[in-house]
Chains A and B, each alone.
Chain A
Amino acid sequence: MTSVANSPVNMSLTPTKTTAAQPSKRTGPRASDSLPPSTLVRWLRDMFLIREFENRTAQAYQQAKIGGFCHLYTGQEATAVGTIAALNPDDPIVTAYRDHGHALARGMDPGACMAEMFGKATGCAKGKGGSMHMFDKPNWLFGGHGIVGAQTPLGTGLAFAAKYEVEVMKRGVDGGPAKKKVSLAYLGDGALNQGALHEAMNLAGLYGIPVIYIVENNGYSMGTSIDRGTTMSEDLRKKADAYGIRGEIIDGLDVIDLYDAFKPVVDWCRENQKPAFVDLKTYRYLGHSMSDPQKYRTKEEVDQYKAKDSIDRLAAHLMEDRKGADGKPVLTEQQFMDIQTEVKATVKAALDFAEASPIPDESELYTDVFVNPQPNLSPTCEYTHGAKNPLL
C-alpha cells in the first residue's frame, strides 16, 4: 500500500467549515397565541402517536412482519405536525420516503398505515406500496416517494394546478370554486443535491408557484453529514436566493416556535401566490433506515438532541408554562397519561388490524397497471401455482 501513502493525489476532499446561520428571533405577536389550548394538546397527542407508531413499527420490522426498507421518523415529529398544522386541510403535500409521520399528521388511519407496511390488502395502497409509498388522496397526501428529490417537481406541479385553477380556469378542476392553495414539498437535506430539486425551484421562482420546499434538515444524507454533502450548508437560504425564492431558517425541534415561524410563511405564499424555501432544523434519533450501522455520528451527539426532545418540551410547556383562563396549566399529568394510554391502544389496534388483515390476492399482481380491466395485459399469464389471470 506504499503507493497510496506516497500518492501524489492529495486533493483533500474535505469541505471547509463555516459558522452556521441561526433561526432569527421573532418579536411581536405569535401565530400560536390565538390557538385554543385544545389544539396544542392535539399536537402533543399527534406527536406522541407518531413516536409510539414508529416504536411499534421498529418492533414489527425486527419480527420480520414488515418487509422492504423502513425509515423511521423518530425525533422529527414536530416538523410534520407543526408544518401541517399551518395548512388548510385541502392544501396538497408530497414527501420523501420517511413518510409515516406526515401520513399520520395528515390524518391517515394508523391501521391503514401499518397494514400498508405489512403488505396487507387493507393498506392505504392495498399493500402494494409499502413503507415508502404512503398515499392518502382524501387527506391531500400525494405520496411518500422512494427516489430522493424526485418528489419536489411533483409538489411544484400540484401548486401549479391550484394556481391555474385560480388564475386561468377561475374554478376548481372538480367543478367547485377555485381556492388559493399552497403545496408543501418535503425533502431531506440529502435531496438538496439532486438535480430535480433545482429544476423545480427554478420553475417555481420563474412562474411564481405557491409551493413551499421544506428541507427537513436532520443533518445527515444517509451517512453523510450535511457539510460533507452540500455547499453553503451554513446558510441554505442562499440556494433559494439563486432562484429568486424567499428563504427561511426555522428551528424544527420546538413545535410551537416552528408553527409561529412557519404559519406566516404559508400565509404569505398563499396570499402572494409565491414559492418559499424553508431550512427546518431537526434531528433523527435512529439510523437512516433499519439497517444503518451509524458509524458517522456519536452516541453523545444523539443524546444531546434527545435532551431537547420535542415531545418532552411541549408536554412540559403545557403542564407548566401554558396557563388557561383559570390560571391553571392547560394539561395535567393525569391528562397526559390518559393521552399516552389512548395512543398506545390506538397503535396496538393498528398493529392488530394489520396483523389480522389479508394478504392481497395474487390477482392483485395484475390490477392497476392500467385502468382496469386490462384484457391485453400479459397474454400468457398462467402464473403462481397454476392460477390464471382472472382478468382474462
Chain B
Amino acid sequence: MPRTDVMKQKGLTLVDAINEALEQEMIRDERVVLLGEDVGANGGVFRVTEGLQKIFGKDRVIDTPLAESGIMGSAIGLAMAGMRPIPEIQFEGFLGPAFDQLTNHAARYRSRTRGAITIPMTVRVPVGGGIHAPELHSDSPEAIYAHTPGLKVVMPCTPVDAKGLLTAAIRDPDPVVFFEPKRVYRSFREEVPEEEYTIPIGQAKVVSEGTDLTVVTWGASVFECLAAIDKLPEDVSIELIDLRTIYPIDLDTIVQSVQKTGRCVIVHEAPKTSGFGAEISSLIQENCFLHLKAPVQRVAGFDTVMPYYKLELDYLPDSKRIAESVTQTLAY
C-alpha cells in the first residue's frame, strides 16, 4: 500500500506499519506467503493486509477456508518445505482450534528432529481487549504460548516497533507468534522509517528512564501506564519498560532497572493467576532480592472470563489502578 498524504503528514498507524513490513518482506523474499480467512480480497478482518493481494496476486496472498487448524497446519507444512508462511488468525480466541498444530507441531519440530526440520513461520494474531468485543475476541493468552518451549512470542505496541519486530519475525528461523494489540491498531500514529529495518526479538525498550520505581508492561497497557505516570506527582521518577517480546524475555533490561529502583509494578491485561507477570515477579526475586525495597506488585485482569463490554473497562487495568499500585508500592 503506497504511503498516502495523511501518512506522510501524520505518520503511520500500527495497521499501516504492519502492512508495510509485510509488503517489503514479500518483495524481498518470494518464499513469504500470507494465508488466512479473507486476508486477500477483503484485506483481513482488521484490514491489515489491505491491498497486498492486488500487488502480489492470489498465489501469495491466499484466501483460505474458515478452518484455523487447517490454516495453521498447512502453514507449518509450507514452513517445513522451506517457505516463509505468515498465517493470520483473526482473533486470539480462534487460536483454540489451531492450538494443537501450533503447540504440538510448530513449537516442537526443531527439537523433535534435532534441528533437521525447522518452522520459519510468523503467526499474526490480533490480541487483547478495549474494542468493545466479547470474550474470544478480547483475551490475552500470551502466557499460554510463552509457556510453550519452541515458540517466540512478540507483542509490540507502537508502529515503529511493529514494523521492525515483524520484519525480524519473518526472517527468524523459528516460529514466532506475533500478537498485535487491536486496541492500538488505529489509535496511535508515529513517524516510521520508510526503508526496511529490524528490531531484535528479545529486546525490551525503556520507554522512559526513572529512579524510584520500575513499571514493566507490554501491549496496549503501555499506553495506560503512560497515562498513569501522568497522574503521579512530578517528583516521582518512574522507569517504564515495554517488554515488546514476551519470550525470550529480556531479563537484563528488567534486572538492571529493578536493581536501580528497588521497586517494580507489572501490568498486563491477562488474568492475574499464572499470567506472565507471575514469571517476571519470580525472576525479579531470583535476581534482585537484596535490591528490593517493596514487594513486586501486579496490576492485571481478573481470574474471570473476559467480560462483555459494559464491564470491559472494569476488567482491564486502567491508569487509575496502575497509579494506585505505584503509589502504594512507593509508600511501602
Interface residues of A, Cβ cutoff 8 Å to B: 1, 3-4, 7, 9-14, 67-69, 118-120, 127-133, 146-150, 190-196, 221-224, 228-230, 292-293, 295-296, 359-360, 362, 364-366, 369, 377-378, 380-381, 383-386
Contacts and interface: CB of A to CB of B under 8 A. Distances in A.
B93 A381 contact: no
Contacts of B41: 223-224, 295-296
Given A11-B59, A132-B134, A230-B65, A365 B307 contact: yes
B42 A381 contact: no
B70 A7 contact: no
Given A195-B97, A295-B41, A366-B302, A360 B311 contact: yes
Given A1-B55, A4-B55, A222-B38, A67 B62 contact: no
A68 B310 CA distance: 10
Contacts of B69: 194-195
- In the A-B complex, list the 5 residue pairs whose CB atoms are closest, starting with the nearest: A119-B310, A67-B132, A67-B309, A193-B65, A190-B66
Interface in B58-81: 58-60, 62-63, 65-70
Given A222-B37, A222-B38, A7 B133 contact: no
Contacts of B97: 147, 149-150, 194-196
Contacts of A195: 67, 69-70, 97
Interface of B: 27, 30, 37-38, 41-42, 45, 55-60, 62-63, 65-70, 93-94, 96-97, 132-137, 272-273, 302-305, 307-312, 314-315, 320-321, 324
Nearest to A384: B314
Given A4-B56, A67-B132, A193-B67, A146 B307 contact: no
Nearest to A123: B308
Contacts of A14: 58
9 contacts: A1-B55, A68-B137, A118-B310, A119-B309, A119-B311, A130-B134, A130-B308, A364-B311, A378-B303
Contacts of B135: 146
Given A369-B304, A377-B303, A384-B321, 8 more contacts: A67-B132, A119-B310, A129-B308, A131-B134, A150-B96, A222-B45, A365-B307, A365-B315
Contact of B96 (A1, A127, A147, A362): A147
Contact of B310 (A67, A133, A146): A67
A138 B134 CA distance: 24
A147 B92 CA distance: 11
Contact of B309 (A7, A68, A386): A68
Contacts of B324: 386
A7 B41 CA distance: 20
B66 A221 contact: yes
A132 to B, nearest CB: 6
Nearest to A145: B136
B82 to A, nearest CB: 13
Contact of B308 (A7, A119, A192): A119
Contacts of B67: 193-195
Contacts of B62: 13
A221 B65 contact: yes
